[in-house]
Structure 1
Amino acid sequence: MTRDAFEALERLAGGLGTALLALLTLAFWVLVGAACVVGVGLLMLPAMLALTRALAERERARLNRWGLEVVSPYPVGEAPVGWTARLRAARADPATFRDLSWLAVHGTLGLVLGLVAVILPMITLREATFPLWWRFLPPDMWVTSFGVPVTTWPAMLAVAVGAVIIQVIAVLLGPRMARWQARSGVRLLGPHPSIDLSQRVARLTATRAGALRAHAAELRRIERSLHDGAQNRLVAVVVMVAAARRALARDPALVDLALDRAQGAAEQALSELRGVVRGLLPPILEDRGLAGALNALAAGSQVPCGLAVGELGQLPLSVETTAYFTVAEALTNVGRHSGARRAQVTLSRDRDLLRVVVTDDGKGGADDGSAGTGLAGIRRRVEAHDGVVTLSSPQGGPTRIEVELPCGS
């Protein structure tokens, strides 16, 4: 909860910065609009459009850093040349009016939310500590931050307790306030819904193709495991049982040896079949649930591993399986390549989104394009569920793999 509160405060403070710029840009638009009445402001319209676009691009970049995918709607290419051509292009582009609408919303509602998030902790600190030093002030300064006079100890203690309660409520509402502040950018700064739909279809086509490739690769792996392992063992069992039957007629003393070898081969075949089945759906998921299965993975990790699992609720089996194999592959990668001394696995759920985070304090430099790391396999498996993988692994570490999986029913 503490981490979510600080993250929400950071997001709201960042949004406060762009909200102040949006309000200032709105003021400039009012001045330019007034100047257009006498004709002078018309010359400033292209510059104002460029300023608005630059501010909107800055907000898109900020939202993308927080994992809210907002694609720029502006086409890549040469900009129109000339005052008339630039104004006509801006008028024909629906993104221009969407950017202006975002300026109005973010410069008002976003500004209020950011100010509340930033100023309220300072007010709370003053009010909560006021009983410690209010007696040292002149009587005319015995007032709260809102100008309410306070002259008695009970009133002062009530103000302090009330300030703390209000701050606790604000901390609990912080993540929701951050989402409210970002909502206008997510809705208005992205492409027009028709364009966004075509991009969504293209992305789904790519992820489904990746899922089919991953499925075909998994079938080939299962076929190789059965053909090279269990099938050969079972053929050996048949041969050894036939040899035992022939030995029973010729030399009964050799029967026990042949049966022992057949039993050993059968046990190996059974073990390999169990391994193939575990590769499809680990039985521990059904027996102990996702939290118990991950606890077993953490306990068996080559590197000491901590595990933190929040309230996950009921998850689809396919999501649990993907999360399990993601953690298993990530911890295997940590043990083989990272040189880490400790790893940490964290699972949390935010409504219809399951977040899996695996971190280690190793040497870093992980790349999901490198052969043998298994990270590319994680990405294919996650993207097949419309999930997102974020990898951060600078040289020298630490390495952080964050997976977000939709888990709505």
Structure 2
Amino acid sequence: MRGWLRDARFLGIELGASVVSLALFCVILVLLPLMLITGGVLLLPQVVQVLHAWSDRARRRIGRRRGDDLPPLSRRLPRGATIDERLRFAFSRPTGRDALWLTAHAFPVMWAALLTLALPLAAINSLAVTWYWQFAPADDPVGSPYPVTSWELAWTMPLVALAYAVAAVFLVPAVARLVAFVCAKLLATPQKSRLAARVDALTLSRAAALDAHAAELRRIERDLHDGAQNRLVNVVMMLGIAERAQETGGDVLEPLRRAQDAASDALAGLRRTVHDIYPPILDELGLEGALASLAGRSVVPCTLEATAIGRVPAAVESASYFVVAEALTNVNKYSEATTATVRVEREGELLLIAVEDDGVGGAVERLGGGFAGIRRRIEAFEGTMELTSPAGGPTILRTELPCGS
């Protein structure tokens, strides 16, 4: 009985979803003739983007039902796309597959779910006819499935109800499986397209990794040039001054002290640069301990919530450390927050990091800014980043990093 109710619930959800699919189908059908004018070119790609989002929801829903992996398309219209790019987006092969699913979902699935779910209702109605047939007008008798005009016919209604109930018992699970099977076939990404998407993702992640590597090299070069190199030049100058002072019989001690101070500053700068390449604290305390150290040094009171992280690859640990460090730097400098929270958890092969503060909000991702640097690091690992910061707060930075099993 529990399985039957689950199947009936699935059909009910698909029936409601098919109404949305029918509405979306009608909108697309209306926009297609408008392709002759500018409005169609402007609006159709936006509607197609909604179609992809709707089909991705169906993929998650059908995937849960069947226990299958139906990867979402996650296709988005590029910002500032030209008319040619908008048309290619609207009439791509994935759009054609989603449109085929939409057509099937809006019509055959709707009617199959509607008629199947009507069977148990018809069984209940047939039982009720046994009593209320007598109150119907003589010229308009109750018909379920044939006119009931006498008690003799009314007493046959329990048999009709039994037939409806037996049909419902067998057809509801069968139709639920059929609907799930057909939708899964239409929504599944072909192997060729899946491999092409994987190649595209790897190409993008490789480009992001190269960009992150180049940016890191530029940062290290800048730190060495502006920090340690300048201080070492000061050391050489102070030693030269001390040498000339010794030759002329002047004060040697003061230039040597200044040279020692400059050497100490240069050494501290080199240590900071090495620390920024790979913090030694990660080796000493692991990721959880290193993040606890970051939270403890935060100017804004910060709470760390980390559960069963374990050890992850060193590159992922380093990226995670810098994500939290950069996020807390932004919190301390710009958020005007009173509290912050860092949440780190592991879900299978994903490391989830969320940094939240109760500040003024309004944080945006700017080219060359801290959030852009975080995204660059994350995308190098094929991870994702999401920034939510409405005016008035709170600001929430969420990242997902693949970390292996």
Instruction: Give the TM-score normalised by the residue count of structure 1.
Output: 0.59
2:13 corresponds in structure 1 to: 21
**Counterpart residue type for residue 392 of structure 1:** T
Q: Does residue 392 of structure 1 match 2:391?
A: no
2:310 corresponds in structure 1 to: 313
**Counterpart residue type for residue 206 of structure 2:** R
Q: Does residue 348 of structure 1 match 2:345?
A: yes
CA displacement 1:58-91 (0-9 Å, x = unmatched): 35247789xx744479975479xxxxxxxxx99x
**Distance in 1 separating the partners of 2:323 and 2:312:** 16
Where does structure 2 lack aligned partners over 5 or more consecutive residues?
A: 1-6, 19-24, 30-47, 62-70, 77-86, 114-179
Q: 1:324 aligns with which of 321, 325, 337?
A: 321
Q: 1:56 to 1:250 in 2, by over 3 A?
A: closer
**Distance in 1 separating the partners of 2:90 and 2:258:** 73
Following superposition, the deviation at residue 196 of structure 1 comes to 2.8
Following superposition, the deviation at residue 282 of structure 1 comes to 1.1
SS of alignment partner, residue 303 of structure 2: strand
1:215 corresponds in structure 2 to: 213
**Counterpart residue type for residue 238 of structure 1:** V
**Distance in 1 separating the partners of 2:258 and 2:206:** 47
2:362 corresponds in structure 1 to: 365
Q: 2:269 aligns with which of 267, 272, 276?
A: 272
Following superposition, the deviation at residue 183 of structure 1 comes to 12
SS of alignment partner, residue 399 of structure 2: strand
SS of alignment partner, residue 385 of structure 1: coil
Q: Does residue 336 of structure 1 match 2:333?
A: yes
**Distance in 2 separating the partners of 1:275 and 1:72:** 41
**Counterpart residue type for residue 405 of structure 1:** L
SS of alignment partner, residue 216 of structure 2: helix
**Conserved in 1, the CA contact under 8 Å of 2:345 and 2:353?**
yes
2:291 corresponds in structure 1 to: 294
Q: 1:305 to 1:186 in 2, by over 3 A?
A: farther
**Distance in 2 separating the partners of 1:185 and 1:344:** 42
Instruction: Give the TM-score normalised by the residue count of structure 2.
Output: 0.60
SS of alignment partner, residue 254 of structure 1: coil
CA displacement 1:148-188 (0-9 Å, x = unmatched): xxxxxxxxxxxxxxxxxxxxxxxxxxxxxxxxxx9998996
Q: 1:401 aligns with which of 375, 397, 404?
A: 397
Following superposition, the deviation at residue 240 of structure 1 comes to 2.1
1:222-241 equivalent positions in 2, closer than 5 A: 222-241=220-239
**Conserved in 1, the CA contact under 8 Å of 2:101 and 2:187?**
no
**Conserved in 1, the CA contact under 8 Å of 2:295 and 2:304?**
yes
Where does structure 1 lack aligned partners over 5 or more consecutive residues?
A: 1-14, 27-45, 80-88, 109-181
Q: 1:186 to 1:390 in 2, by over 3 A?
A: farther
**Distance in 2 separating the partners of 1:184 and 1:302:** 56
1:130-169 equivalent positions in 2, closer than 5 A: none
Q: 1:55 to 1:225 in 2, by over 3 A?
A: closer
What CA RMSD, in Å, does the superposition of the two structures yield over aligned residues? 4.3
CA displacement 1:76-119 (0-9 Å, x = unmatched): 5479xxxxxxxxx99x9597479969x99xx99xxxxxxxxxxx
Q: 1:337 to 1:206 in 2, by over 3 A?
A: same
**Distance in 2 separating the partners of 1:355 and 1:263:** 45
**Conserved in 1, the CA contact under 8 Å of 2:242 and 2:256?**
yes
**Counterpart residue type for residue 401 of structure 2:** L
**Conserved in 2, the CA contact under 8 Å of 1:312 and 1:348?**
yes
**Distance in 2 separating the partners of 1:183 and 1:338:** 50
**Distance in 2 separating the partners of 1:276 and 1:213:** 19
